[in-house]
Amino acid sequence: MPDISGSFTAHITAETTLFPEDQPNHQVQLAEIHATQKSPDPSWNDARLTYCGVTDVVSGNGKQHGYYVNEHPDGDSDRGSFEGRVTTAGSQTTIEGTFTITSGTGKLNGIRGNGTFKGRQVSPTEIEMNWTGAYEVAAAVSRVA
């Protein structure tokens, strides 16, 4: 399975925050985020990322989960899901978790993979993230067999 890694600085383009009154400082957020991937792997470098996530926190700590799509420069795409843990210490909010690659198009048809990510919120509308993982494409596996 090829290893991949990368980073991005994402911009929140849409966000809705709800304040359930079940406990103090409880927030549920739905956000859409856009970014351009930076990766040493030319197939992943400059891929356009869109992800939609739900964050459920109490006093700044909790969980996030959602779905993403990477549109690669050659027109192919990969997509999947993610889940993570949100932690706030002072004024710094961080998130770390895992992602799962579930499908793709073009040369990425049949792709499967997973990895980890870690990032931080640098402003109310900007997130920096680093990630690493591995993947395989079913077509590549069938050629080896």
DSSP-assigned states of every residue in 58-69: ETTEEEEEEEEE
pTM, rounded to two decimals = 0.89
In this prediction, residue 121 carries a pLDDT of 94
Which residues have a Cβ under 8 Å from the Cβ of 35 and sit 6 or more positions away?
Answer: 8, 9, 10, 11, 48, 49, 129
pLDDT for the residue numbered 1: 74
**What confidence score (pLDDT) does residue 139 get?**
60
Q: Say whether 90 sits in a helix, a strand or coil.
A: coil
Q: What is the CATH number of the domain that holds 74?
A: 2.40.350.10
- Domain holding 16, by residue range, is 3-144
Q: Which residues of the chain have pLDDT under 70?
A: 139-145
> How many alpha carbons fall within 13 Å on the CB side of residue 114?
5
DSSP bridge pairs for 11: 34, 126
Q: Residue 123 class from Cβ within 10 Å (0-12 exposed, 13-18 middle, 19+ buried)?
A: exposed
Question: How many independent structural domains does the chain possess?
Answer: 1
